[in-house]
């Protein structure tokens, strides 16, 4: 069995840009009805009234549970359909805020546009398993099918059969945003996201209401139009499925820490925060509280601190209700005491329409202080609606903030790429902020594949392992290659045609291949299928990209690559390619060098004990509760060899002496310098390195 060493990039939650169905979105993996947002796909700006712009965002839903999702329209006298919320968020100067919200699009007849996999055909009054239902931005902003948010219980998914309509006009019921918040001239460097969320009763009551929000980066132009394609270049942003936009803050800023709080008898609330040392003894704090689907809602937030410390510049931000929603928009007043800073609105008993943090919205809290993050003992969250059951969450929730909200740690030495000597102690040198605790791990078999099938397309004798069909067949080519000189390329087909490449797989393991596409964007595309499931769709100018998929069963299955053309037009080279196909088992395993460091640790002693060409170090931010944040350490892979083994053949011999002498007298940066022969790590090849070879001459690996 052949051993492959490959860099693994696992599929994340990226649903759409190249329309790649993510590896963690598995049709039928959740029980009962389960609808998610598979794509936020277009934006319409309806116009401006005064200082306010109106927008709507198009969405495509995916049914990923084991049973269909009901889709009976209000017009048929039913409330058994989804409602669709749309929001905008902005990250500017370290502060992440919600800048707009819409009323709700009420779903009607379900159709299928095929982006979620194989549809079971149950459509119309239900969205079948594997089916996807598109609503363009125009439909999601059509006022005749909009309804108010205040009528919806997002935790149960229940709302009236006949929703309150917003009326007509440019703004009513649509996603409303102040001009100052999207003016490029006043928001240099800001990052924006659109968030789309589906709420429906059968999904919620099956316990599947926690993955219904997705987000996507959006750009605002000088005329205030919005687009999902970066006007500065770089192409379209992906839809990040099953995660609300607050996760985009964390993804864009590694100093952010997030905690998900699932309320007993109710929905989910997120608490996110970051801290920044602004001078000797001074810190700035940013907090965001996001209500995904809690019906009880939130009316207060507070941070205790040591008595005698000081808070200044307290800040609050909410998002306004509009178009006739009955809720008060009064800001929560701040109260700064000797040991606590807090914000609170009116209680439910005082005013049932008070300004509470209701579902699908996010509020911000910030301040400057002369205490450190470690001196904050906890947070306090006060719920708005009273509990209905003794087992429900209490009115006031006190909890620890997620830890590790500081600049990330990183490995400074070993820096990656050099050779380390087995059984020779070294120090792992870290960069770490004073507030960061980390877990340090080592793998001695990083990204090593036990390959059971592979093809790099360099030898045409492997053609017999593949089948191809269509007007023109796939074939080996030397015009494009990810590695080496050859790849497999789609046949030259005409408009409206399809060419395919297939291979049978016995089942199980992990699949990897690289792909490239040059075609008419969104129309002529590469598709990859496992059995009947479409896992990848890519079009336009897509450079070599790694695709990874872990098979869910050990059953035999057909792997199929298709290049499809629509009925008209061509662009680019009008072709797709694949290269470095491999199926096997990833054997990577990790062990702790140190389980958890003290905050600010900079040196960790470590002795490599295993001879391996595939050793890798990683550090992970220890967030507590068994959760970790990880930073990319792709350059921290290296070889561990016996002392004096410059060539890596597990023996110290004449070849190693020759390799050392070949670069004798050179140092790092010289083309003749060979880091593999630098046994004492002083970045020069000198007598000590020659002595290293001679002193261990004849040794072999244990």
Of the candidates 63, 154, 75, the one whose C-alpha atom is nearest the C-alpha of residue 107 is: 75
Asked if pLDDT for residue 18 goes beyond 50, the answer is no
CA–CA separation, 210 and 292 (whole Å): 8
Identify the pLDDT of residue 12: 33
At 213, the pLDDT band (50, 70, 90 cuts) reads very high
> In CATH, what is the architecture of 2-9+449-586?
Sandwich (2.60)
Q: Dihedral sign for Cα 72, 74, 80, 82, please.
A: positive
Identify the pLDDT of residue 432: 76
Q: Dihedral sign for Cα 219, 221, 223, 228, please.
A: negative
**How large is the average pLDDT for residues 285-308?**
98
- The owner of tokens 């687009």 is 227
CB count, 10 Å around CB of 317? Answer: 17
CA–CA separation, 325 and 317 (whole Å): 19
Identify the pLDDT of residue 412: 86
At 631, the pLDDT band (50, 70, 90 cuts) reads low
Contact 607, 593 (CB under 8 A): no
Identify the pLDDT of residue 408: 65
Asked if pLDDT for residue 470 goes beyond 70, the answer is yes
**How large is the average pLDDT for residues 648-657?**
91
Least confident of 446-455, 556-565, 636-645: 446-455
Q: Which two tokens stand for residue 130?
A: 């594997």
Strands 419-421, 637-641: parallel, antiparallel or unpaired by DSSP?
Answer: parallel
Q: If you write DSSP's letter for every residue of 111-174 in order, what string do you get?
A: ---SSSS---S--BSEE-TT-EEEE-HHHHT-GGGEE-STT-BTTTTB--SSPPP--SSSSTTS
Contact 52, 29 (CB under 8 A): no
Of the candidates 264, 217, 205, the one whose C-alpha atom is nearest the C-alpha of residue 243 is: 217
3-state secondary structure of 204: helix
Residues 82-110 as b/e (b if ≥16 CB within 10 A, e otherwise) read bbbbbbbbbbbeebbbbbbbbbbbbbbeb
Asked if pLDDT for residue 14 goes beyond 80, the answer is no
Percent helix, percent strand, percent coil in the chain, to nearest 5: 10, 40, 50
3-state secondary structure of 75: helix
Annotate 226-243 with three-state secondary structure: EECECCCCCCECCEECCC
Asked if pLDDT for residue 22 goes beyond 70, the answer is no
Winning range, highest mean pLDDT, from 24-38, 280-294, 528-542, 639-653: 280-294
**How large is the average pLDDT for residues 354-366?**
99
Q: Which two tokens stand for residue 548?
A: 């990874």
Of the candidates 401, 411, 446, 402, the one whose C-alpha atom is nearest the C-alpha of residue 631 is: 411
The CATH code of the domain at 642-702 is 1.10.1330.10
In tens, the pLDDT along 673-692 reads 887 788 887 889 999 889 88
Which H or E run contains 688? helix 687-695
The alpha-helical segments, DSSP class H, found in 112-243 are 137-140, 179-182, 201-205
Residues contacting residue 257 through CB under 8 Å, at least 6 positions apart: 250, 272, 273, 274, 401, 402, 403, 404, 405, 623, 629
In tens, the pLDDT along 151-169 reads 999 999 999 999 999 999 9
Identify the pLDDT of residue 17: 40
Higher-scoring residue by pLDDT: 672, 676: 672
Contact 295, 216 (CB under 8 A): no
pTM of the full structure: 0.68
In the DSSP assignment, the letter for residue 332 is P
Residues 472-482 as b/e (b if ≥16 CB within 10 A, e otherwise) read ebbebbeebbb
At 671, the pLDDT band (50, 70, 90 cuts) reads confident
Q: Which two tokens stand for residue 8?
A: 């693994």
Winning range, highest mean pLDDT, from 68-82, 191-205, 561-575: 191-205
Query: 414 preceded by cis ω (within 30°)?
Result: yes
Identify the pLDDT of residue 490: 97
Least confident of 7-11, 619-623, 642-646: 7-11
In tens, the pLDDT along 542-586 reads 999 989 888 888 899 999 999 999 889 999 999 999 999 999 888
In the DSSP assignment, the letter for residue 590 is -
CA–CA separation, 15 and 216 (whole Å): 10
Annotate 241-286 with three-state secondary structure: CCCCCHHHHHHHCCCCEEEEEECCCCCEEEEEEEEEEEECCEEEEE
Identify the pLDDT of residue 625: 62
**How large is the average pLDDT for residues 73-88?**
95
Query: Is domain 258-399 annotated with CATH 2.60.40.1170?
Result: yes
What are the extents of the domains in the chain? 2-9+449-586, 31-245, 258-399, 642-702
CA 562 to the chain's CA centroid: 27
3-state secondary structure of 505: strand
3-state secondary structure of 659: helix
In tens, the pLDDT along 118-146 reads 888 889 999 999 999 999 999 999 999 99
In the DSSP assignment, the letter for residue 28 is T
CA–CA separation, 385 and 392 (whole Å): 11
At 632, the pLDDT band (50, 70, 90 cuts) reads low
């Amino acid at each position: 069995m052949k051993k492959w060493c490959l860099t693994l990039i696992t599929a994340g939650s990226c649903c759409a840009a190249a329309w790649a169905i993510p590896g963690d979105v598995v049709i039928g993996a959740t029980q009962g009805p389960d609808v998610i947002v598979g794509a936020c796909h277009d934006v319409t700006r309806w116009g401006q009234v005064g200082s306010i712009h109106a927008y709507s965002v198009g969405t495509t839903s995916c049914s990923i549970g084991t049973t269909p999702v009901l889709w009976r329209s209000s017009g048929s006298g039913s409330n058994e359909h989804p409602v669709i919320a749309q929001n905008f968020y902005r990250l500017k100067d370290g502060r992440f805020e919600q800048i707009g919200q819409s009323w709700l699009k009420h779903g009607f007849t379900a159709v299928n546009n095929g982006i979620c996999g194989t549809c079971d055909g149950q459509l119309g009054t239900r969205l079948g398993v594997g089916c996807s239902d598109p609503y363009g931005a125009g439909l999601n902003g059509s006022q005749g099918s909009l309804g108010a948010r205040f009528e919806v219980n997002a935790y149960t998914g229940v709302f009236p059969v006949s929703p309150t309509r917003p009326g007509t006009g440019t703004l009513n019921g649509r996603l409303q945003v102040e001009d100052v918040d999207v003016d490029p001239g006043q928001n240099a460097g800001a990052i924006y996201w659109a968030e789309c969320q589906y709420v429906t009763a059968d999904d919620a009551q099956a316990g599947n209401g926690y993955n219904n929000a997705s987000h996507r980066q959006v750009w605002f132009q000088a005329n205030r139009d919005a687009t999902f394609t970066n006007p500065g270049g770089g192409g379209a942003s992906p839809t990040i499925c099953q995660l609300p936009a607050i996760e985009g803050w964390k993804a864009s800023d590694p100093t952010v820490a997030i905690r998900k709080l699932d309320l007993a008898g109710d929905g989910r609330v997120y608490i996110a925060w970051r801290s920044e040392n602004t001078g000797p003894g001074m810190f700035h704090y940013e907090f965001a509280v996001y209500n995904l689907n809690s019906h009880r809602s939130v009316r207060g937030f507070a941070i205790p601190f040591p008595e005698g410390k000081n808070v200044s510049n307290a800040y609050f931000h909410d998002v306004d209700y509009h178009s006739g929603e009955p809720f008060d928009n009064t800001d929560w007043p701040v109260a700064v005491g000797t040991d606590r800073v807090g914000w609170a609105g009116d209680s439910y008993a005082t005013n049932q329409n008070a300004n509470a943090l209701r579902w699908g919205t996010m509020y911000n809290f910030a301040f400057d202080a002369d205490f450190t993050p470690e001196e904050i003992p906890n947070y306090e969250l006060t719920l708005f609606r009273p509990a209905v059951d003794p087992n429900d969450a209490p009115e006031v929730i006190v909890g620890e903030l997620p830890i590790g909200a500081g600049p990330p740690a990183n490995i400074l030495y070993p820096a990656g790429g050099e050779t380390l000597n087995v059984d020779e102690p070294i120090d792992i040198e870290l960069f770490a902020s004073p507030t960061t605790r980390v877990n340090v791990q080592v793998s001695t078999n990083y990204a090593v594949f036990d390959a059971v099938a592979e093809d790099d397309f360099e030898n045409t004798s492997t053609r017999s392992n593949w089948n191809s069909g269509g007007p023109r067949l796939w074939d080996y080519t030397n015009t494009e290659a990810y590695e080496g000189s050859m790849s497999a390329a789609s046949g030259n087909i005409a408009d409206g045609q399809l060419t395919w490449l297939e291979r049978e797989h016995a089942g199980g393991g992990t699949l990897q291949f690289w792909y490239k596409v040059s075609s008419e964007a969104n129309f002529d595309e590469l598709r990859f299928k496992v059995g009947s499931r479409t896992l990848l769709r890519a079009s336009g100018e897509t450079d070599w990209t790694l695709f990874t998929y872990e098979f869910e069963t050990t059953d035999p299955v057909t792997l199929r690559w298709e290049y499809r053309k629509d009925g008209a037009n061509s662009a680019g080279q009008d072709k797709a390619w694949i290269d470095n196909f491999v199926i096997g088992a990833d054997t990577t395993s990790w062990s702790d060098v140190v389980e958890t460091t003290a905050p600010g640790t900079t040196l960790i002693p470590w002795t490599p004990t295993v001879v391996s060409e595939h050793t890798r170090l990683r550090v992970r931010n220890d967030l507590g509760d068994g959760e970790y944040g990880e930073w990319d350490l792709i350059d921290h892979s290296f070889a561990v060899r016996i002392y004096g083994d410059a060539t890596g053949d597990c023996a110290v011999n004449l070849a190693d002496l020759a390799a050392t002498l070949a670069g004798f007298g050179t140092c790092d940066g010289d083309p003749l310098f060979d880091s593999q022969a630098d046994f004492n790590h002083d970045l020069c090849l000198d007598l000590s390195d020659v002595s290293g070879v001679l002193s261990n001459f004849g040794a072999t690996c244990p």
